[in-house]
């Protein structure tokens, strides 16, 4: 099919994304859209760039649309905010036809529908590689004016995880080895959960908001730490603890039984330690969190209501971050650029 013209593109976008939304005072289509914030706004920006974050060889246009938005919603949710809207700076190559664009939009609307997001507008440019820059925002309750954030942990706090880790790294590893579309199909069949986690991670925004509400209800706004795990626990846990500033570490315990079976299978086939693999793996967009030990029993009840597996990882302490009693293998997940 012929490449879509700029007018075609805008017509397709308009078909998928309504111009108006109750949270907008002025719809997109003007120099600016106008938001009506009801309280503090959590804002994040993530670039999703071809050959840096994804390859067209194994990402469908639906996957690209989904993940470009998902990684931003994940950031919003991990601040405890309710995702509300986004804008998009879309750089296309000029080769995309209308089928491609429709699929890309569908990948985004799958998430905008789920989270009831407004699209406030965006911009279109052309370049040899795809580049999708999303800025997303969410609304924080007045009682949580700075959101849930990193660096609030103290010695003795519990560290826990919502969602699983390691799967997306396995998906990336397996998909990077493919050379043909047949390869991609058989890889997706062989490692279905891993490929899905890499291609279409589900942002845990509802879970982040639930943790935000819990913090408010228990007066723990400044004592529950939260972030999404985009670069792997090995890199992100020190950030969660603000280790560089305060020297906090943790004794992390990951039992192989709590690791996804696909990861365990892959690691046993390749003579790797599954816990280390999971600890290093990035892009799962799980939530890593800290809480005071005395809040843990009640928090555990909340976590048991989540639709994703949750795991107590260990306890904050002065000293190094260790995994199952040993220093972790390396500094973490480095994506393609490694």
Instruction: Point out which residues bind a second copy (CB under 8 A).
Output: 25-26, 30-37, 40-47, 49-53, 75-76, 78-79, 81, 87-91, 120-129, 131, 133-135, 137-138, 140, 145-147, 149-150, 226-228, 337
- How far apart CA 115 and CA 85 sit, in angstroms, is 9
Per-residue burial over 162-195, b if 16 or more Cβ lie within 10 Å, else e, is bbbbbbbbbbbbbbeebeeeeebeebbeebebbb
- How far apart CA 179 and CA 107 sit, in angstroms, is 24
Contact by Cβ (8 Å): 237, 142: no
Q: How far is the CB of 216 from a second copy (least distance, A)?
A: 15
Nearest CB to a second copy, comparing residues 91 and 187 = 91
Nearest CB to a second copy, comparing residues 72 and 187 = 72
Q: For residue 140, give the 3-state DSSP assignment.
A: coil
Q: Of 186, 180, 187, give the one whose Cα is nearest residue 57.
A: 180
Nearest CB to a second copy, comparing residues 218 and 239 = 239
Nearest CB to a second copy, comparing residues 248 and 323 = 248
Q: How far is the CB of 84 from a second copy (least distance, A)?
A: 11
Q: How far is the CB of 230 from a second copy (least distance, A)?
A: 9
Q: How far is the CB of 4 from a second copy (least distance, A)?
A: 14
Q: How far is the CB of 196 from a second copy (least distance, A)?
A: 23
- How far apart CA 254 and CA 260 sit, in angstroms, is 12
Nearest CB to a second copy, comparing residues 48 and 277 = 48
Q: How far is the CB of 183 from a second copy (least distance, A)?
A: 25
- How far apart CA 237 and CA 161 sit, in angstroms, is 11
Contact by Cβ (8 Å): 332, 280: yes
Nearest CB to a second copy, comparing residues 83 and 292 = 83
Place of tokens 């397996």: 174
């Amino acid at each position: 099919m012929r490449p879509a013209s700029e007018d075609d593109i805008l017509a397709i976008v308009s078909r998928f994304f309504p111009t108006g939304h109750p949270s907008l005072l002025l719809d997109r289509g003007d120099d600016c859209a106008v938001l009506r914030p009801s309280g503090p706004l959590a804002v994040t920006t993530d670039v999703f760039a071809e050959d840096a974050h994804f390859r067209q060889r194994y990402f469908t246009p639906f996957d690209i649309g989904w993940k470009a938005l998902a990684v931003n919603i994940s950031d919003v949710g991990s601040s405890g905010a309710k995702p509300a809207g986004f804008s998009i700076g879309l750089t296309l190559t000029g080769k995309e036809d209308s089928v491609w664009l429709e699929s890309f939009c569908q990948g985004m609307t799958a998430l905008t529908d789920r989270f009831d997001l407004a699209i406030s507008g965006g911009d279109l440019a052309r370049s040899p590689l795809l580049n999708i820059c999303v800025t997303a925002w969410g609304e924080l309750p007045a009682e949580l004016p700075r959101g849930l954030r990193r660096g609030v942990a103290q010695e003795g706090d519990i560290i826990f995880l919502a969602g699983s880790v390691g799967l997306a790294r396995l998906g990336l590893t397996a998909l990077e080895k493919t050379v043909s579309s047949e390869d991609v199909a058989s890889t997706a069949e062989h490692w279905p959960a891993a490929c899905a986690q890499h291609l279409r991670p589900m942002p845990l925004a509802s879970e982040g908001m639930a943790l935000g509400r819990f913090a408010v209800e228990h007066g723990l706004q400044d004592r529950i730490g939260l972030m999404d795990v985009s670069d792997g626990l090995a890199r992100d846990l020190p950030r969660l603890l603000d280790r560089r500033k305060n020297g906090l570490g943790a004794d992390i315990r990951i039992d192989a039984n709590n690791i996804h079976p696909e990861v365990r299978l892959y690691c046993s086939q390749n003579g790797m330690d599954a816990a280390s693999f999971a600890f290093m793996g990035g892009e799962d967009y799980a939530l890593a969190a800290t809480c005071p030990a005395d809040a843990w029993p009640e928090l555990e009840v909340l976590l048991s209501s989540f639709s994703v597996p949750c795991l107590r990882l260990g306890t904050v302490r002065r000293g190094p971050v260790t995994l199952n009693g040993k220093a972790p293998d390396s500094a973490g997940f480095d994506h393609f650029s490694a």
